[in-house]
Structure 1
Amino acid sequence: MFEPGHLHRANTLATAEMPLFNVDLYYDVRQDPSEGPMLQMRMRGQVDGKAFDETFELHRDTAYNFASVVSRLGHKHGLPANSSLIMRSHSEYDQMFEDIRAKLGAHSGEPVNLDHLEKDGL
């Protein structure tokens, strides 16, 4: 389920390939005095009954890579490496991507500061 600023994903039927999970991803933009606009994300929930809560930030020009970070965190907490919380429903991913771009005022073709990739751990 997607609404601006929030994506919820859950799997209520465990299989050999996919554990039970219930995950919420919240996001917003904050203005950092020295770094400029930053995408703030909080990912919390549970995988196979084990709770987790993670936060991270991405610079405006690297925020498009949020799905990779979310997938890596999901894997860290027990989701299979080949699963993607965000890509499970591509239409909701598209809505989330467009919402993030609008919140950041980002446009296709803008340059990426390579120092931001390193700072953001990408």
Structure 2
Amino acid sequence: MEYHSLSASGKPGYHLQLDYRVEGTPEAPQWACFHLRFEVGATLVDEQFRMHRDVACNFLQRVRQCLRRHGVPVDADILFGLHGIYDPLFEDLRRQLCYRPGEAVDLDRFLREG
């Protein structure tokens, strides 16, 4: 997934790229591995992280934490306002992870990884 935004109304432009792959067997995938690249002004972020399959759909929160850790002021619209871009990504991730609605989530893992 890749997204560009031009600067407007006093907000700087940015370039966001998020790639992912699933690890494990096709019958029993276990991990979603993400590679985040983000550029805004002189700030460059290039990080990789992985999340267990039951909490992987919370990856936007992890991206937000990563950007904040690098000093990037994160507006809600950067991550959560782009449903047209993220919805197909969520669907593909759920499909690759064989994740079904109503499946249990390990709360401890969710709090630790998410």
Cα pair 2:45 2:67 within 8 Å, conserved: no
Match of 1:12 among 6, 20, 30: 6
Cα pair 2:43 2:72 within 8 Å, conserved: no
What is aligned with 2:97?
Answer: 104
- Could you tell me which runs of 5 or more consecutive residues in structure 1 were left unpaired when the two chains were aligned: 1-6
Cα pair 2:30 2:97 within 8 Å, conserved: yes
What is aligned with 1:42?
Answer: 35
Q: Structure 1 runs of 4+ off > 4 angstroms?
A: none
Aligned-pair CA distance for 1:49: 2.3
The aligned length equals: 111
- 2:2 is aligned with what amino acid? H
Aligned-pair CA distance for 1:110: 0.5
Q: Percent identity?
A: 30
Structure with the bigger percentage of helix? 2
- Could you tell me which runs of 5 or more consecutive residues in structure 2 were left unpaired when the two chains were aligned: none
Cα pair 1:19 1:48 within 8 Å, conserved: yes
- Cα distance between partner residues in 1 of 2:70 and 2:8: 16
- Cα distance between partner residues in 2 of 1:119 and 1:71: 15
- TM-score of the two chains, using structure 2 as the length reference: 0.81
Q: CA RMSD in A?
A: 2.2
- Cα distance between partner residues in 2 of 1:73 and 1:63: 15
The answer to whether 1:74 aligns with 2:64 is no
- TM-score of the two chains, using structure 1 as the length reference: 0.77
Aligned-pair CA distance for 1:14: 4.8
Aligned-pair CA distance for 1:63: 0.8
